[in-house]
Amino acid sequence: SIPPDIISESITMEQAVKLLSLPRELGVHPESSMPITAAIGKFGPFIVHNGDFRSLKGADEPYGITYERALEILKEPKKGRPGIAIAREVGTHPRTKKKIYLYKSKSGFFLKKGFKHVRIPESMDPEKLTVPEALELLKAS
């Protein structure tokens, strides 16, 4: 799509070629063998690897970001929304191979299933939560 700061009637051939270059595959992640891709979405520029979306800020932009820089960004701990923090990584989902994170907010610990928050019952110790327990909670929600 055409970014809002560009008037579609005045697009040059050079701009069109640049816009059509996205999404751009940067390479394959060395640990997962899954592709790392740069693109622009409705929330702005980002990179994605195996469902892990990271916003691009500052000098990082999808047309020029390097494979090495994308790996650096993916190694950084993911930032949550204000008031919500990632408490720890529980493990990896055996089927999807996506990471399962335990989150903490002012109202307690929870897991995420899409946009839905799955609360950790008071009877469970969130710091000792295992992958099978997390999968059971996610499945029951």
What's the average model confidence in pLDDT over 121-141? 93
Host domain of residue 124: 85-140
What's the average model confidence in pLDDT over 37-62? 92
- Supply 7's token pair: 């008037």
The answer, yes or no, to whether the previous bond of 30 is cis (omega within 30 of 0) is no
CA neighbor of 43 nearest in space, from 65, 71, 62: 62
Report residue 63's pLDDT band, with 50, 70 and 90 as the boundaries: very high
Q: Is residue 99 part of a domain?
A: yes
Q: What is the DSSP letter of 9?
A: G
Q: Is residue 121 part of a domain?
A: yes
pLDDT tens for each residue of 81-123: 667 888 999 999 999 988 999 999 888 999 998 888 999 999 9
One-letter amino acid at 27 equals G
- Does the pTM surpass 0.85? The reply is no
> In the prediction, which pLDDT does 38 show?
96
Neighbour-count burial for 25-53, b at 16+ CB within 10 Å, e otherwise: ebeebeeeeeebbbebeeeebbbbbbeee
> In the prediction, which pLDDT does 80 show?
62
Domain endpoint, select from 75, 97, 119:
75
